[in-house]
Structure 1
Amino acid sequence: MSERPERIFPMSRPAGHVPPIARYSSRFDHRPERLAVLFMGIAAEDGGRAALALSDFLASACRSVDAPAHFDRATFLDANGRRNSVAALYWPDRSAYGRWVDTPDVAAWRAGHRALAEDFGQWWEPVSVAPDRSETIAFAEYRRGLSACPFSRLEQMGETGYWGAARDRIPASGWDRLAGEAVSLVPLGRTAESRGLRLAIRPPSGLAVIRSGVSWSACGAEQRESFERNVRPKLNAGMEYLRRNPVETGCPALRQVVLTDNEGEELEEAYSLGLFLSLGHLEAWAKDHPSHLAIYHRAMAERRKYQEALELRTYNEIYVLDENAADFEYVNCDPSVGLIPYFAARVLASGT
Structure 2
Amino acid sequence: MESAIPSHLQTARSRHRRVPDDYTPPYPSFVARHKPAVKSVTMAYFGAQYRGEPTAAATKALAGIATRFAGENGPTHWDRAQYVDQAGFTNVVSVAYWDDAARFDAFLPKARDAWTGSEPGAGVGRFIEVLRPRVERYETLFSSLGRPEGVAVLADGMSGEVQEHAYWGGMRDRIPLSQTDAMTPGGEPRVVRDGARIRVVAHDNLCLIRSGQDWSDTEASERKMYLDDVEPVLREGMDFLRDEGAPIGCYANRYMRVLDAGGAPTEKSYGQSWWKSLAALERWAESHPTHVRIFGAAMKYLSTLGPNAKLRLYHEVTVAAADEQFFEYLDCHERTGMLGAVSPWVAAELGSTGEAGRLAP
| TM-score of the pair, normalised by structure 2 | 0.86
Residues 74 and 260 in structure 1, CA contact (< 8 A), matched pair in contact too: yes
Asked if 1:69 is matched to 2:73, the reply is no
| Cα shift at 1:193 | 11
- Taking the TM superposition and a 5 Å limit, the aligned residue runs for 1:91-110 are 91-102=98-109, 104=110, 106-110=111-115
Aligned residues: CA RMSD: 2.6
Residues 116 and 127 in structure 2, CA contact (< 8 A), matched pair in contact too: no
Could you tell me which amino acid in structure 2 is paired with residue 309 of structure 1? N
- Taking the TM superposition and a 5 Å limit, the aligned residue runs for 1:200-239 are 200-239=199-238
Structure 1 residues 252-272: Cα deviation after superposition (integer angstroms, max 9, x where no partner):
100110000111100011001
> 1:90 maps to what in 2?
97
Residues 47 and 82 in structure 1, CA contact (< 8 A), matched pair in contact too: no
What SS does the aligned partner of 2:83 have?
Answer: strand
Gaps in structure 2 of 5+ consecutive residues: 1-7, 350-358
Moved more, 16-25 or 207-216: 16-25
> 1:48 maps to what in 2?
54
Asked if 1:20 is matched to 2:19, the reply is no
> 1:322 maps to what in 2?
321
Change (3 A) 1:14 1:301: farther
Change (3 A) 1:68 1:30: farther
Aligned to 1:10, which of 16, 28, 35? 16
> 1:125 maps to what in 2?
129
Change (3 A) 1:5 1:300: same
Moved more, 174-183 or 324-333: 174-183
Change (3 A) 1:45 1:244: closer
Asked if 1:135 is matched to 2:139, the reply is yes
Gaps in structure 1 of 5+ consecutive residues: none
Residues 214 and 312 in structure 2, CA contact (< 8 A), matched pair in contact too: yes
Structure 1 residues 41-90: Cα deviation after superposition (integer angstroms, max 9, x where no partner):
100124423344212211122211x1100000011111222211111100
| Cα shift at 1:16 | 3.6
| Cα shift at 1:297 | 2.3
How far apart are the structure 2 equivalents of 1:98 and 1:322? 18
Residues 83 and 257 in structure 2, CA contact (< 8 A), matched pair in contact too: yes
> 2:306 maps to what in 1?
307
- Taking the TM superposition and a 5 Å limit, the aligned residue runs for 1:109-120 are 109-113=114-118, 116-120=120-124
Residues 68 and 74 in structure 2, CA contact (< 8 A), matched pair in contact too: no
| Cα shift at 1:123 | 1.3
Could you tell me which amino acid in structure 2 is paired with residue 59 of structure 1? T
| Cα shift at 1:283 | 0.2
How far apart are the structure 1 equivalents of 2:192 and 2:86? 18
> 2:86 maps to what in 1?
79
